[in-house]
């Protein structure tokens, strides 16, 4: 018997490009929704992203866009736009898009217009700078928001320049917030029989990710600073160089620091007034980091992992992507998989239901591969 996923029976029409909305669509598809991805005739931008590609499309497209019905419609074409409107009106529970500001309204795809004739529709728009304010009409991308939100200002080495996170945390985070909003709206529709207009934006997500830093500034005016692999409020809580790579060590309280000191062969550190409390270690960050670093440099990552984990010290190696993919823990989780033999392996949903992860989504298909299905789901009107 086929296991029913939580969103089985929900239909999503996704007019998307790049990363944030496709990531949201991917999550909804993995949760069981039937997702119709609408691309412009030239295709989603990520089909051309490099440097890695698979079967003619960028690897990023495969990561973010599996498991859909693939439509090619040009909303600038009157007939194609009419087809999209019909698909939403007759089939969609959810309409998801990340069109540039003002574009949805121009083509009648905004919530105000679509929900006049279909009030039960959940309309989800992913924007850039948000729906209000002087920048609301500007386009935006992940690195712009990491910069604007202050994230980049507190990311990087203490004596270096601002650094963007190596993955698109704002794009993917916004996709997640969009899904949370859609799920909440679907639940409200189930209870109150009314849809909703859900709005998420890259900037609001980035601001949310900087919540702790903003709270610190509001409390005492501290603007934040860069600590490399560490953080502003805990010491030690950073990477140290072993003889064959780096190891993250995290001591979130004084008891853990005492255990670390003993495991490193320096139990006297725990009684040293410079290091005995986290507040003292913050004042003497450079010195305690130097002392720990000198000890860690004498062994390999594996040697220190074994010793520290035996002592109950949270630690982890700084791995490369190949190391992560091949690690027995990653393999045991089964989170990297493919539905089709000979296809690229991609990351699945990081959730399980009743002890089982939703199955991997089918491979991507060419632009407009499912246009021929429109005739069956949108029969010709008399």
What's the first-to-final CA gap in the chain, in angstroms?
39
Q: What is the mean pLDDT of residues 360-374?
A: 93
Of the candidates 44, 171, 220, 354, the residue annotated as catalytic is 171
pLDDT, one tens digit per residue, over 213-228 is 999 999 999 888 899 9
Residue 4: is its pLDDT beyond 90? no
Count of structural domains, the chain: 2
Q: What is the pLDDT of residue 341?
A: 86
Q: What is the pLDDT of residue 339?
A: 86
Q: Are residues 260 and 357 in the same domain?
A: no
Cβ–Cβ < 8 Å for 87, 13: yes
> Could you confirm whether 370 is annotated as catalytic?
no
248 three-state secondary structure: strand
* Residue 86, C-beta contacts closer than 8 angstroms, at least 6 positions apart: 378
Q: What is the pLDDT of residue 99?
A: 96
232 domain-assigned = no
For the chain, where are the E strands, in sequence order?
11-15, 34-39, 53-54, 57-58, 69-72, 94-97, 122-127, 196-201, 237-242, 245-250, 315-317, 336-337, 346-347
Q: Are residues 171 and 260 in the same domain?
A: no
* Residue 304, C-beta contacts closer than 8 angstroms, at least 6 positions apart: 242, 247, 296, 315
Residue 1: is its pLDDT beyond 50? no
Q: Are residues 190 and 47 in the same domain?
A: yes
Q: Are residues 142 and 89 in the same domain?
A: yes
pLDDT, one tens digit per residue, over 114-161 is 999 999 999 999 999 999 999 999 999 999 999 999 999 999 998 899
256 domain-assigned = yes
Residue (of 257, 247, 260) closest to 299 by Cα position: 247
Q: What is the mean pLDDT of residues 320-329?
A: 95
Q: What is the pLDDT of residue 6?
A: 95
Q: 350 is written with which tokens? A: 């990081």
d(CA 367, CA 35): 15
349 three-state secondary structure: coil
Report pTM: 0.92
Q: Which residue segment(s) compose the domain that 17 sits in?
A: 11-209+334-377
Q: Are residues 186 and 248 in the same domain?
A: no
Cβ–Cβ < 8 Å for 197, 97: no
d(CA 26, CA 333): 19
214 domain-assigned = no
Residue 267: is its pLDDT beyond 70? yes
């Amino acid at each position: 018997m086929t296991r029913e996923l939580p969103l089985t029976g929900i239909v999503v029409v996704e007019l998307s490009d790049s990363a944030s909305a496709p990531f949201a669509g991917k999550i909804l598809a993995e949760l069981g929704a039937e997702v119709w991805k609408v691309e412009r005739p030239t295709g989603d931008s990520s089909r051309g992203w490099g440097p890695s590609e698979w079967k003619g499309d960028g690897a990023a497209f495969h990561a973010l866009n599996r498991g859909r019905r693939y439509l090619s419609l040009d909303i600038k074409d009157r007939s194609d736009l009419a087809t999209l409107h019909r698909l939403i009106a007759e089939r969609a529970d959810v309409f998801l898009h990340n069109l540039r500001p003002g574009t949805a309204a121009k083509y009648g795809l905004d919530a105000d217009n679509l929900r006049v004739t279909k009030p039960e529709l959940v309309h989800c728009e992913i924007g850039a700078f948000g729906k209000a304010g002087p920048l609301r009409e500007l386009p935006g991308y992940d690195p712009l928001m990491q910069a604007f939100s202050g994230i980049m200002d507190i990311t990087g080495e203490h004596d270096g320049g601002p650094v963007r996170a190596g993955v698109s945390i704002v794009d993917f985070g916004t996709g997640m917030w969009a899904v949370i909003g859609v799920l909440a709206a679907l639940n409200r529709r189930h209870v109150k029989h009314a849809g909703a207009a859900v709005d998420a934006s890259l900037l609001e997500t980035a601001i949310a990710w900087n919540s702790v830093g903003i709270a610190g500034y509001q409390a005492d005016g501290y603007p934040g600073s860069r600590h490399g692999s560490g953080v502003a409020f805990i010491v030690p809580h950073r990477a140290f160089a072993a003889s064959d790579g780096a190891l993250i060590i995290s001591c979130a309280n004084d008891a853990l620091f005492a255990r670390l000191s003993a495991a490193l062969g320096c139990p006297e550190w725990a009684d040293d007034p410079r290091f005995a409390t986290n507040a003292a270690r913050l004042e003497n960050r450079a010195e305690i980091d130097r002392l720990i670093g000198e000890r860690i440099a004498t062994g390999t990552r594996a040697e220190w992992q074994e010793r520290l984990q035996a002592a109950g010290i949270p630690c982890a190696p700084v791995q490369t992507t190949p190391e992560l993919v091949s690690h027995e823990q990653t393999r045991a989780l089964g989170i990297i998989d493919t539905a089709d033999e000979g296809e690229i392996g991609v990351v699945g949903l990081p959730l399980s239901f009743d002890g089982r992860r939703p199955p991997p989504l089918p491979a991507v298909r060419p632009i407009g591969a499912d246009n021929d299905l429109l005739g069956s789901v949108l029969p010709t009107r008399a």
